[in-house]
Structure 1
Amino acid sequence: MPGVVASGLLHATVTAAPVYTDAARSSGVLTAVDGDARGWATPWPVVLVLVLIAGAAVAVARRRRAASVPELGAEAHLAV
């Protein structure tokens, strides 16, 4: 369906009913075959947005932590 993000476990079922035509132009139906499959659909745009938000949060936290630590000036080196 267009415009809908696929995410989570998806399940699909297919039924194929083959029809044959021979050289004499007669046709017939062969036995139908069923198949099903399951698979995970990862919504990559959503994952990318979450990674960017987490990266921004880490950058803000590091910047705040660096701003809260006082700078060591020349006096601190002389006192040692």
Structure 2
Amino acid sequence: MAVYVSTKHAVEGYSESLDHEVREHGVRILLVEPGPINTPFDANMVQADTPMPVYAQRRRTFEDVMAEAVRETPRPA
């Protein structure tokens, strides 16, 4: 989950910084962060080649939470 959350935070930070840099040129940056959408996100998550056993329970919890969140959300259409 840390990788997912940290990459979202990185995009947000980059967008805010870029907005400040280009604002003086009349350009604004807008970041749209939609809520969950029913996509195959959970099925496309990359798994580690050699997962560390110490994280097995947290990994299962994250996978279960993501699968449930995706199931209960609207389709993209």
After TM superposition, the score normalised by the length of structure 1 is 0.29
Larger Rg: 1
Structure number with the higher helix fraction is 2
Structure number with the higher strand fraction is 1
Greater relative CO, 1 or 2 (CA 8 Å, sep 6+): 2
